[in-house]
């Protein structure tokens, strides 16, 4: 058996040698192969000779004026055809990816951005039907860790961590508003001052969340210490707690379309609000984005506004 040693010897074989050999083997003619490949016959003979030297066995034998494949030549011809088919498939996949006919996008989004991100993904997928997605909705700490480990193609989040070397593009405002249950006394007021909120109990996101950081920074600048009633790890939990009358909440206005439409929650009219933040699409600097990831990034930057839910209050 020469199989193992043949593999070792063939490691330096070039695609050009295999292509020339395949043409000769298919045509059983050096002359026809030369014509097919637009080469001279000596050039074809040289490529085949180099391949035989690499293999260590003759690939053709001549009987009279005709050439025939040897046993080794038949084996090489078999693998040539297999390699050629795989290369064709490879070229097809690459062309499909360039045209976004297929491909996979791994994206993570802050839980606050879930409403917007799913609309963006749905719209993008409708225009690029062969693309598949994996969507991870998580908190800021996990997003930062995923960026650190380069685990995702793209991340959509609030304020990106300044200490990391990232490419960050702001694509939409993310206003934070104060919400209350419909029967809360402050809902009847039209021009609240932020100082009138200092004695209210707030239901807050967990420490370290983007919303919590922005909110604490804002109130600290106003010289106001908030009363914390409960801490929640999701916006949905905050909305449910506020609706149940456990306190006021501060959330992105983009998380509220259903609750405002059904009048389960009310946005308070506070003069100093909303707190204006932005959504960012983020990836590690130096990361080579796949065609589908780059296309989605451009889609977000150019067309995100079309898919934001219009909310009036």
Residues 6+ apart with CB under 8 A from 279: 113, 116, 156, 157, 158, 170, 171, 172, 173, 174, 304
Whole-prediction pTM value? 0.61
CA proximity to 143, closest of 236, 295, 281: 281
Residue 234 region by backbone torsions, left for phi larger than 0, else alpha for psi between -120 and 50, else beta: beta
CA distance 229 to 246: 8
Residues 6+ apart with CB under 8 A from 232: 203, 204, 205, 206, 238, 241
pLDDT mean by block of 10 residues, the chain; 313 residues: 47 84 94 92 93 91 92 91 77 64 84 86 87 88 88 90 91 89 89 84 82 83 79 85 90 85 90 86 88 91 79 51
Domain 103-172+278-307 has CATH 3.40.190.10: yes
Q: What is the pLDDT of residue 1?
A: 41
Q: What is the pLDDT of residue 311?
A: 54
Q: What is the pLDDT of residue 193?
A: 86
Collapsing DSSP to helix, strand or coil, 12 comes out as helix
Q: What is the pLDDT of residue 155?
A: 95
Q: What is the pLDDT of residue 255?
A: 83
Q: What is the pLDDT of residue 10?
A: 55
Burial of residue 148 (number of CB atoms within 10 Å: 0-12, 13-18, 19+) = exposed
Q: What is the pLDDT of residue 89?
A: 67
Question: Do 3-98 and 103-172+278-307 share a fold?
Answer: no
CA distance 53 to 123: 56
Q: What is the pLDDT of residue 91?
A: 67
Second-level CATH architecture of 3-98: Orthogonal Bundle (1.10)
Query: 175-276: what fold?
Result: D-Maltodextrin-Binding Protein; domain 2 (3.40.190)
Q: What is the pLDDT of residue 267?
A: 92
Q: What is the pLDDT of residue 83?
A: 84
Q: What is the pLDDT of residue 33?
A: 93
Rounded alpha-carbon distances, angstroms, from residue 217 to 130, 212, 270: 43, 8, 17
Number of H helices, E strands in the chain: 11, 11
Domain ranges across the chain: 3-98, 103-172+278-307, 175-276
Collapsing DSSP to helix, strand or coil, 305 comes out as helix
């Amino acid at each position: 058996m020469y199989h193992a040693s043949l593999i070792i010897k063939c490691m330096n074989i070039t695609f050009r040698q295999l292509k020339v050999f395949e043409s000769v083997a298919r045509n059983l003619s050096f002359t026809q192969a030369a014509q097919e490949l637009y080469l001279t016959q000596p050039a074809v003979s040289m490529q085949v000779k180099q391949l035989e030297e690499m293999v260590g066995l003759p690939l053709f034998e001549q009987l009279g004026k005709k050439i025939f494949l040897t046993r080794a030549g038949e084996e090489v011809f078999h693998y040539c055809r297999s390699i050629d088919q795989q290369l064709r498939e490879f070229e097809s996949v690459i062309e499909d990816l360039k045209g976004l006919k297929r491909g996979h996008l791994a994206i993570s989004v802050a839980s606050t951005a879930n409403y917007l991100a799913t609309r963006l993904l749905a719209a993008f997928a409708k225009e690029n039907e062969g693309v598949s997605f994996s969507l991870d909705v998580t908190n800021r700490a996990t997003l930062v860790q995923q960026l650190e480990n380069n685990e995702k193609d793209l991340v959509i989040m609030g304020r990106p961590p300044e200490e990391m070397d990232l490419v960050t593009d702001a694509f939409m405002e993310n206003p934070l508003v104060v919400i209350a249950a419909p029967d809360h006394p402050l809902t009847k007021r039209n021009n609240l001052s932020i100082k009138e909120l200092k004695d209210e109990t707030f239901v807050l996101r967990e420490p370290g969340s983007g919303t919590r950081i922005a909110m604490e920074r804002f109130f600290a600048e106003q010289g106001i210490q908030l009363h914390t009633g409960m801490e929640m790890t999701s916006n949905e939990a905050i909305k449910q707690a506020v609706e149940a009358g456990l306190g006021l909440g501060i959330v992105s206005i983009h998380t509220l379309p259903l609750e405002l439409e059904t009048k389960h929650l009310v946005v308070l009219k506070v003069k100093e609000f909303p707190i204006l933040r932005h959504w960012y699409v983020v990836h590690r600097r130096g990361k080579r984005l796949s065609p589908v990831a780059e296309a989605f990034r451009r889609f977000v930057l150019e067309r995100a506004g079309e898919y934001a839910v219009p909310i009036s209050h």
